[in-house]
Amino acid sequence: MNDFREGLLSINLQSIAGNYLDLNKRLRSGAKCGAVVKADAYGLGMSQVVPALFRQGCRDFFVATQAEGERLRKELGDSVQIVILTGVRAGAELECAKAGLMPTLFTLEQLRHWVDICAQAEIEGPCAVKIDSGMTRLGMGPEEFDLLLRDRQLLASADIRILLSHLACADEPQHPQNDIQLRSFKEAGEKLRVLCPEVQLSLANSSGIFLGEDYHFDIARPGSALYGVNPIPGTPNPMRPTVTLSLPIVQKRLVSRKQSVGYGATQQVTAGSWLAVARGGYADGIIRAQGGRGCGWACGRQLPIIGRISMDSTTFDISALSHEERDSLQSIEILNSNLTVDAVAEHAGTIGYEVLTSLGHRYFRRYIKS
């Protein structure tokens, strides 16, 4: 028997695969579509998601940490390229190279160190180099990158497979920052290609794919859009929703007089209101900021969240349901194709990425394959 008592999280692998194919189709011909599966595939389960993407032809995977990369290597064997986006921990270089993981390196010093360690151990050390094209987060700045271009000896001994950079405003197509970063990255890529003709260029995340072919280069790195987050906020979502989260109701109650609900007595309901308390709270990733603002979904209707969200439970006002609907009601959905990760994020004052990566581990997870 499946145990749904703590909530049921359904993850549709077919929809994720469909989103991958859709993104792949949007790329300029010749560009490859990779997949970012960091943070356990944005909370949806790397072990399940990755094989689904692999079956659609994905061979370029991006993770955040070495531990994620090692896990992925064990599961997928040698047939895929795995890039660690946050580099390699000092002292862990050899382990990283032996596992066949490609670290993203941000400084000349890191690159030299990596090359030396791999040479000493006589093992291959393919790597990615990241430049900062204007986001001012990780990556070599223009001066340091120029030093790299001038260090022919280092370039000859380093096995740089990918040059990458990250866009700061890809989800705002009109933002001038996009064009500035595009030009800066393109120029850097052209210069490096003269010296390392095999290097592949990678700039676009999910939203970057929608900025047009100029942004696609050789490898795209979508994450969120694979999992259903809208890559073009403010316009209809072209991606398929991938998750449904259903919370079991543990108590239904009729409120006999005007009364406040939950911690802090922040919100009141009128006499005659019907409430449903569902199992699932902020410890399960139901973002607390939704309290008094968000909603659930049942019987084709939105049902408001009343009062603050507790650690293990959330209270909904189900007064809008008919007598029969109320009697038969056993669960309330708080994520589905009507109540999307983007809609929930809006209620919680955050982004779909945080809604997904917060999903808790107490739910029963069901993976839909076909």
Ligand X SMILES: *Cc1c(COP(=O)(O)O)cnc(C)c1O
Known binding site for substrate: residues? Answer: 137, 311
Residue 359 and residue 42: Cα distance in Å, rounded? 9
- At closest approach, how far in Å is the CB of 35 from ligand X? 9
C-alpha R_g of the chain: 24
- The catalytic position among 20, 32, 38, 42 is 38
Q: Give, as ranges, the residues between 73 and 112 that touch ligand X (CB under 6 A).
A: 85
Residue nearest to ligand X (CB): 223
- At closest approach, how far in Å is the CB of 194 from ligand X? 25
38 is catalytic: yes
Name which of 86 and 267 has its Cβ closer to ligand X: 86
Size of the site for ligand X (CB under 6 A): 11
**Contacts of 215 by beta carbon, 8 Å cutoff, 6+ apart:** 167, 170, 178, 182, 203, 204, 208, 209
Q: Give, as ranges, the residues between 308 and 327 that touch ligand X (CB under 6 A).
A: none
Nearest by Cα to 196 from 129, 105, 119: 129
Two tokens, residue 166: 């990250």
Q: Give, as ranges, the residues between 260 and 279 that touch ligand X (CB under 6 A).
A: none
Name which of 223 and 228 has its Cβ closer to ligand X: 223
- At closest approach, how far in Å is the CB of 158 from ligand X? 20
Tokens 């009128």 belong to residue: 270
In the shown chain, the binding pattern of residues 192 to 231 toward ligand X, with x for contact by CB under 6 A and - for none, equals: -------------xx--------------xxxxx------
- At closest approach, how far in Å is the CB of 5 from ligand X? 32
Query: Largest Cα–Cα distance of the chain, in whole Å?
Result: 81
- At closest approach, how far in Å is the CB of 206 from ligand X? 3
Q: Which residues are annotated as a binding site?
A: 137, 311
- The catalytic position among 74, 130, 191, 263 is 263
Using CB under 6 A, pick the residue from 26, 32, 166, 279 that binds ligand X.
166
Name which of 224 and 273 has its Cβ closer to ligand X: 224
- At closest approach, how far in Å is the CB of 38 from ligand X? 6
| 36 interacts with ligand X by CB under 6 A | yes
Name which of 36 and 188 has its Cβ closer to ligand X: 36
315, burial (CB in 10 Å: exposed 0-12, middle 13-18, buried 19+)? buried
Name which of 38 and 279 has its Cβ closer to ligand X: 38
Name which of 62 and 363 has its Cβ closer to ligand X: 62
Name which of 195 and 351 has its Cβ closer to ligand X: 351
Three-state secondary structure readout of the chain = CCCCCCCEEEEEHHHHHHHHHHHHHHCCCCCEECEECHHHHHCCCHHHHHHHHHHCCCCEEEECCHHHHHHHHHHHHHHCEEEECCCCCCCCHHHHHHCCCEEEECCHHHHHHHHHHHHHCCCCCEEEEEECCCCCCCCECHHHHHHHHHCHHHHHHCEEEEEECCCCCCCCCCCHHHHHHHHHHHHHHHHHHHHCCCCEEECCCHHHHCCCHHHCCCEECCCHHHHCCCCCCCCCCCCCCCEEEEEEEEEEEECCCCEEECHHHCEEECCCCEEEEEECCHHHCCCHHHCCCCEEEECCEEEEECCCCCCCEEEEECCCCCHHHHHHCCEEEEECCCCCHHHHHHHHCCCHHHHHHHCCCCCEEEEECC
- At closest approach, how far in Å is the CB of 170 from ligand X? 7
353 is catalytic: no
Rule CB under 6 A: which residues touch ligand X?
36, 38, 85, 166, 205-206, 221-225
Query: Could you list the active site residues?
Result: 38, 263
